[in-house]
Chains A and B, each alone.
Chain A
């Protein structure tokens, strides 16, 4: 698990001990099983990845409210997918596409039972303005420190 920060993109990669088709399917169809819960906009009951170009990633809340916060820009199972990040710095839907960033995920098989998964979250500068409020949002009680604690517990277990 490595991450690298350069220019206007953040890159991360992970080696998964699973076949490429399986890794791709867990990343997409089963996105709700692993997506960090704290990163939902509300009390989310279900998270849906619509498996086609033009589809969305959808958060379905308990009350039935749907938030389509990402657009699927490329869908090439089991090798590659690209989706937009349509949330602004206050974690609200950004309707101006020029102010959204892009996540590309590439899956490369390393033998029949291992997959290298590389992620490139780019055009982060598109989120441009409001970095200060972004920072403020992170300083909230529900922001990162709590999550990091939770993560450290899991990692140490």
Chain B
């Protein structure tokens, strides 16, 4: 079972896309107990998908920004480059065959 292969973990992961949250807030509306959510968070953390930090007397969980930024940055650069090349090709070929 992979970290995001479990539907509850996936729900937690998607919920955290809205911003950092404490365990209690994450568990609200999920059909599992708070300790179960903690267990899922542990798995997500081990997979490098989620990070946590202490704030006041509780712990806030958030998506691990390093990983997400990397994958975004990669596709951002990729499509930037690819679409420029596409534009050039589309405009050139039109001139060749009017």
A interface with B by C-beta (< 8 Å)? 1, 3, 5, 7-8, 10, 12-19, 22-23, 26-27, 30, 33-36, 39, 89, 96, 98-99, 117, 119, 121, 124-129, 131-132, 134-135, 138, 144, 147-148, 151
Interface size of B by CB at 8 A reads 38
- Contact A134–B84 (Cβ < 8 Å): no
Query: Given the complex of chains A and B, what is the CA–CA distance between A19 and B97 in angstroms?
Result: 13
A20 to B85, CA, bound (A): 17
Chain A proximity of B8: nearest CB distance (Å): 14
B48 with A18: CB separation less than 8 A: no
A-B contact pairs, 14 of them (CB 8 A): A3-B79, A14-B86, A14-B87, A17-B91, A34-B86, A99-B2, A128-B2, A129-B48, A131-B66, A131-B71, A138-B74, A144-B74, A144-B77, A148-B77
Of residues 63 through 85 on chain B, the ones whose CB sits less than 8 Å from some CB of chain A are: 64, 66-68, 70-85
CB distance from B95 to the nearest CB of A (A): 9
Question: What 11 new A-B contacts, CB under 8 Å, besides A5-B73, A129-B47?
Answer: A1-B84, A10-B79, A14-B84, A26-B90, A34-B86, A39-B78, A121-B79, A125-B14, A129-B49, A132-B67, A135-B67
Question: When the two chains form their complex, are residues A147 and B3 in contact, meaning their CB atoms are under 8 A apart?
Answer: no
Known pairs A3-B76, A17-B91; A12 contacts B83 (CB<8 A): yes
One digit per residue, 1 when the CB lies within 8 angstroms of any chain A CB and 0 when it does not, for chain B 33-76 equals 00000000000000111000000000000001011101111111
- Secondary structure type dominating chain B contacts: helix
Asked if B84 and A27 make an inter-chain contact with CB atoms under 8 angstroms apart, the answer reads no
Could you tell me the distance in whole angstroms from the C-beta of B2 to the nearest C-beta in chain A?
6
Q: With A12-B83, A18-B90, A131-B71 in contact, do A5 and B2 touch (Cβ < 8 Å)?
A: no
